Copies of this chain bind each other. A is one copy, B any other.
Amino acid sequence: MDKKQLILDAALRLFVEFGFHDTPTSKIAKEAGVANGTLFYFFPTKDDLVKALYIDLKTKMGGCVAESISEEMELKEILRGFYKTSLTWALDHQPEFTFLEQFNNSPYARSIAKVEMDIYTRPLLSLLQNGIDEGKLKHMDADLIYAIVSGHTFGVHKYLSGKTFLREEAEQVMDETFDLIWKLISF
């Protein structure tokens, strides 16, 4: 397997367990089964490694969510797709999601250009704006609807990841809570 990827994988595991700080590059290299110098061949600095990991995971998650959406669908079903796919990805990739959260709430987040940050929020945002303009969604600031939907998703994720559910149970919670949030934002 690609050593670069091995390093990213090892970094993910260690960062989630010990944090950025308490994970020396030497341990990452060891965990990845590569030499210390090899890490710095691929990632000139530790910061570069952290950022690269973030971009990598963000891209993977974004790609997965985007894949699940078809242009043909009704707004409600598009949003349900977004919602369920995001939640499912987060549940199926808990370390990845934990890292993303850790990163987003750290000063590292400021080091990623804002433009780069909302590559993944923009599509959803314009979807919501269209919904508002077409009278399908409540006449509110699109940013507010976005924030509420994100917060809701976030909260439900916390609930689902805090207990152990069977697949079908989790799925049912997702559908029920989506109906709740849809009722909240739609006319």
Contact at B143–A162, with CB atoms within 8 Å? yes
> Which residues of chain B are within 8 angstroms of A149 by Cβ–Cβ distance?
155
Is residue A154 within 8 Å, beta carbon to beta carbon, of the partner chain?
yes
Query: Interface on chain A toward B: helix, strand, loop, or mixed SS?
Result: helix
How many copies of the shown chain assemble into the complex? 2
Residue of B nearest to A152 (CB): B151
Contact at A151–B156, with CB atoms within 8 Å? yes
**Which stretch of A25-33, A34-42, A64-72, A104-112 is in the interface?**
A104-112
Residue of B nearest to A155 (CB): B151
Residue of B nearest to A185 (CB): B180
8 Å CB contact of A147 from B102, B144, B156, B181: B156
Given contacts A143-B159, A181-B184, 5 further A-B contacts (CB under 8 A): A22-B107, A105-B105, A144-B156, A144-B173, A152-B155
